[in-house]
Amino acid sequence: MLGKLITISGLDGAGKTTQIDLMTEYLNKKNISVKYIWSRGGYTPGFLLLKDIIRKLAGKKVPSAGRTSEREKKLKNPKIAKLWLTIAIIDLFFLYAVYFRLLMLFGRTIIADRYIWDTLIDFRLNFENINVEKMFLWKVLVFCAPVPDVPLYLDIPLDISVDRLSRKDEPFPDSKETLSNRLDNYKELNEQAKWKSIDAMQPIEKVHSDIVKELI
């Protein structure tokens, strides 16, 4: 029997990790084999390996990992930005369209922490001068990647996300302005992503209960 694809999206602080843990426990009790995968464009295994190799070969010519001013400056170069996006999308293709489908073919149910539309929002925010949706490779990725069986969106207000994020030990936290832009993008993409919205302001067990209803 084919496995399913469950995706979970939402602002930082929405409780995704907590609900993923509860979902995994619930599905394991049902004897369903679960594979958890976190993904983000530019941070997929193949791309990370490539960046490590380039850093070793180029040395100080390549910016160090993380959100540095030097890195941001280089990514504003249109040629570098398009090359970065091209490699990131190709690696996402192998992750989503190949690896995900193979796992599902062999009966694994995937819980994906972030998926295509979350990455599109990242690309929109980080590469404002490039229309990623019009890139041929992006269209191929969207066409070939499996459609989620259960696309979940944990909904929380902006101010709650800002407050919860301020309490977390994040090395590169989003600013309130960035979180606001993310929220606007989530609302805009809702029709395409077809998310099943869950009120994440409810008690943890009630949120889990609402999610289970979507899984059945």
| CA distance to 7, 85, 139, 206, 214, per residue, from 136 (Å) | 24, 12, 5, 42, 33
What is the percentage of the chain residues whose pLDDT exceeds 70?
A: 88
Its pTM stands at 0.88
Q: Which two tokens stand for residue 106?
A: 């062999």
Q: Which of 125, 115, 178, 203 is nearest to 152 (CA)?
A: 115
Phi, psi dihedrals of residue 106, rounded to the nearest 5°: -95, 20
Which of 49-63, 115-129, 158-172 shows the lowest mean pLDDT across its residues? 49-63
Instruction: Give the pLDDT score at 127.
Output: 93
Q: Which residues pair with 8 in a beta bridge?
A: 113, 152
Is a pLDDT exceeding 80 seen at residue 212?
A: yes
Is a pLDDT exceeding 70 seen at residue 44?
A: yes
The residues, any chain, with a CB within 8 Å of residue 33's CB and separated by 6 or more, are 3, 107, 108, 109
Is a pLDDT exceeding 80 seen at residue 51?
A: no
Give the span between the Cα atoms of 66 and 100, in whole angstroms: 27
Domain spans of the chain, in order of start: 5-215
Q: How many CB atoms lie within 10 A of CB 210?
A: 18
Average confidence (pLDDT) over 31-58: 84
Helix (H/G/I), strand (E/B), else coil: 53: helix
Fold of 5-215: Rossmann fold (3.40.50)
What are the pLDDT digits (tens) for 141-170?
Answer: 999 999 999 999 999 999 999 999 888 877
Instruction: Give the pLDDT score at 133.
Output: 95
Instruction: Give the pLDDT score at 52.
Output: 73
What are the pLDDT digits (tens) for 96-108?
Answer: 999 999 999 999 9
Torsion, Cα of 78, 83, 86, 92 (10° steps): -110
